Amino acid sequence: MGLILVSHSDTLVDGLRDMVAQVAGSEVAVATAGGTDDGRLGTSAPRIAEAIRDVLDRADDAVVLLDLGSAALSLELALEDLSDVDRQRVRISEAPLVEGAILAAVQASVGASVDDVVAAAESATTMAKLPRA
Amino acid sequence: MSEIRLVVIDPSGLHARPAARFVQAASRFSSRIVLRQDGREADAKSLIALLGLTIRPSSEITLAAEGPDSDAALAALEAELAPYVSPAG
């Protein structure tokens, strides 16, 4: 079970990868695809495809998390680039990137199924941020 | 259901990293394990449930387990929390 973190910013997913490793441990395979090929803000289908392949080399299944919706267009192109078999092993999460990545990684680190990992990530959508009074 | 009561002594409460370690440790046991604070209860095997409790410094928490390995689970989880808690008086 591995995660692919997709963002318009390479710096953002680099930091998030550190955070995920520190919170969930380093057993969960994580790859990042941030920014464009020439280092600008944006997303790149080839970089996303490469990150997905990297995770699929190390894990049976992969869950992709995105920062902003427009990354979904590049992701779609990246998925088209994968073989049918590989594509079956990839799930796309609607979860917010930071919270979703942390929750998914912790769930993955305890050996949960891919369905449980996706559900954990998506529970971040309604996660309270400020402490309740 | 066996339980232990603890007071959080860490000045930042129970934050993400120890909470994640706690979930990982709890997930190794088959018992049902919960953490309670102020009448609210969270599944110890769910990070989002645990973070949702927003466990603050000086608050009293109860760790409870029910199942075949409940005693071992409580011992292991108390050890896991040791740097952040002290026994409740």
A56-78: average pLDDT: 95
Judged by CB atoms closer than 8 Å, whether chains meet at B47 and A109 is answered as no
Judged by CB atoms closer than 8 Å, whether chains meet at B47 and A102 is answered as yes
**Which pair of tokens denotes residue B30?**
């088959």
- Lowest-confidence region among A68-72, A91-95, A109-113, A124-128: A124-128
A49-61: average pLDDT: 97
Nearest CA in chain B to A128: B52
A61-87: average pLDDT: 95
Range of the domain at A79: 2-126
Q: Give the Cα separation of B2 and A108 in Å (integer).
A: 28
Give chain A's domain count: 1
User: For A24, which of B20, B48, B56 is closest by C-beta distance?
Assistant: B20
Q: Which amino acid is at B8?
A: V
Instruction: Give long-range contacts, CB 8 A cutoff, 24+ apart: A124-132.
Output: A124/A95, A124/A96, A124/A99, A124/A100, A124/B48, A125/A94, A125/A95, A125/A96, A127/A99, A127/A103, A127/B48, A127/B51, A127/B52, A128/B52, A128/B54, A131/B54, A131/B56, A132/B54
**Which pair of tokens denotes residue A52?**
């997905």
pLDDT digits (tens, 9 = 90+) for B19-39: 999 999 999 999 999 999 999
- Interface check A107 vs B, CB under 8 A: yes
Half-sphere exposure of A111 (CA within 13 A, CB side): 5
Q: Is residue B23 classed exposed, middle or buried when 0-12, 13-18 and 19+ CB atoms within 10 A define those classes?
A: buried
- Interface check B23 vs A, CB under 8 A: yes
pLDDT digits (tens, 9 = 90+) for B9-20: 999 888 888 999
Mutation target to probe the B interface, by most B beta carbons within 10 A, among A16, A18, A110 is A110
pLDDT of residue A69: 84
For the domain covering B2-87, report its CATH number: 3.30.1340.10
Find the CATH number of the domain harbouring A66: 3.40.50.510
Mean of pLDDT over chain B: 93
A132 domain residue, yes or no? no
A133 domain residue, yes or no? no
A68 domain residue, yes or no? yes
pLDDT digits (tens, 9 = 90+) for A102-116: 999 999 999 889 999
Q: Chain A partners of B46 at a C-beta cutoff of 8 Å? A: 120
B62-70: average pLDDT: 97
Give the rounded percent of residues in chain A with a pLDDT score beyond 90.
88
Give the rounded percent of residues in chain B with a pLDDT score beyond 70.
100
Q: What global pTM score does this model have?
A: 0.87
Torsion of CA B51, B36, B66, A127, to 10 degrees: -30
pLDDT digits (tens, 9 = 90+) for A2-54: 999 999 999 999 999 999 999 999 899 999 999 999 999 999 999 999 999 99
A131 domain residue, yes or no? no
pLDDT of residue B74: 96
- Interface check A117 vs B, CB under 8 A: no
The residue from A1, A6, A8, A71 that is catalytic is A8
pLDDT digits (tens, 9 = 90+) for B47-60: 988 988 888 899 99
Question: Could you confirm whether B15 is annotated as catalytic?
Answer: yes
Nearest CA in chain B to A21: B17
pLDDT of residue B22: 95
The residue from B2, B3, B12, B15 that is catalytic is B15
